[in-house]
Amino acid sequence: MEVFILIISFIVLVGIRVPVAWSIGIASLLTILLSIESVPAFTTVAQRVVTGLDSFSLLAIPFFILAGHIMNHGGIAKRLINFAKSLVGSLPGGLAHVNIVAAMLFGAIAGSAGAAAAAIGSFMSERMEKEGYTREYGVAVNVTSATTGLLIPPSNIFIIYSLASGGVSIGALFLAGYIPGILTGLILMIIALVWAKKKGFPTGKRSSVGEVFRSFISALPSLFLLFVIIGGIVAGIFTATEASSVAVVYCLILAFCYGEIGLKDLKAICIQSAGTISLVMILIAMSIAMSWVMSYENMPQEVTAALLSFSDNPIIVMILINLILLLVGVFMDMTPAVLIFTPIFLPVAVSLGIDPVHFGIIMVLNLCIGLCTPPVGSVLFIGVGVANTTIKKVIKPLLPLFVGMLIALILVVLFPELSLWLPRVFGF
């Protein structure tokens, strides 16, 4: 009965266009009011919202978001695009490869798929169209490649997964995301290569060694941020939260040195960041309240028992979990999905002998695919908005790249070492 109230009320609220965060909170409140009489509903939800955000690890998220906005305005995207063009611009369909590599680099540094889609898309959309690519194909490439930044660290979603899982090492998750993120980008590049030859898209001029070197030197200060953050965490110099504040200071210095922003621009950047931070935090707070309701009603244990009773074959159970996560990603934003479904599916995965770090990568990659699909795909909406086109026109060129992301997911599921090798090398 409780599960029925929770699910139906949430679906109805989303269906009548109540914002997702409020839908989660109201559904949780209604469930307690109507079916858990021994619990004071309003007090409990308020307590869970406040105590859920009272976490040192979550402090990293506002800092990484602020760092991402500084990068977005600080000329970093332009330098990364130039570096990517010098490396892969001469391949068939060169600008598509430039888009993918630049999105991987910028998304990794900013830790945000939305920021990567906006920053890279604003530079690449018109340039690709001028050189003979369709606008819709450029959006499809931009949207799918932007999600690789959620796998390649630093990534806010890994911090959220660590919280939802009960303390999986953030450093281990960061390291585990490298190979799957790069693998996803490479598969997208292969599809872009085949598509370019089929459609006759232009090939760019090969860059000289000197041009590659100069573009690398220009982008090096931005790339060095990755070594500062990940190196500092792995070496134990600072925590992920402390690394996020270091990232803000480093990005500010870099943006001022590039001369792309001044003191007068900081107010607008901080206001823009505050809007994003508030949206993410309210999603986290409400999702934690819903997670408490599900935990109180033993939903994770019931789902575990149901899945394991359906089949004791780990492959069958993992296929089911992946299908459910793919479906969830289509209808729910990534942050609440991780907070709500990690406590449900992680116990099942652990009971099958799957490492929690590996499962975190599987979960995030599943939900990355959802970011590229309507009706809730936030990165898809950003990419379409930046390029001034429609989702309907983008769907056809998006499908082959969507298949590429599914191939990457299958490989990551089947070969755990893709996720676990690097954390093991560094002693996590």
**Chain segment 194-217, per-residue pLDDT in tens:** 888 777 776 767 777 788 888 888
**DSSP string of 258-322, one letter each residue:** HTS--HHHHHHHHHHHHHHHHHHHHHHHHHHHHHHHHHHTTHHHHHHHHHHHH---HHHHHHHHH
Phi-psi region of 388 (alpha: psi -120 to 50; beta: other; left: phi over 0): left
219 Cβ neighbours under 8 A, 6+ residues apart: 79, 80, 82, 83, 105
Give the residue-averaged pLDDT of 110-120: 73
What is the spatial distance between Cα 37 and Cα 19, in angstroms, rounded to a whole number? 27
Residue 98 contacts by C-beta under 8 Å, 6 or more apart in sequence?
81, 84, 85, 88, 89, 124, 204
Cα–Cα dist 159/216, whole Å: 30
Tally of CA atoms within 13 A in the half-sphere of 383 that contains its CB = 34
Tokens of 41: 């509903």
The pLDDT of 142-164, averaged and rounded, is 86
- 387's tokens: 């390029």
Which of the four pLDDT bands, split at 50, 70 and 90, describes residue 376?
Answer: low
> What confidence tens digit (pLDDT) does each residue in 327-362 have?
888 777 788 888 888 888 898 888 888 899 999 999
Give percent of the chain above pLDDT 70.
96
**In what helix (H) or strand (E) does residue 138 lie, and over which residues does it extend?**
helix 135-146
* Residues linked to residue 203 through DSSP beta bridges, in sequence order: 92
pTM (predicted TM-score): 0.81
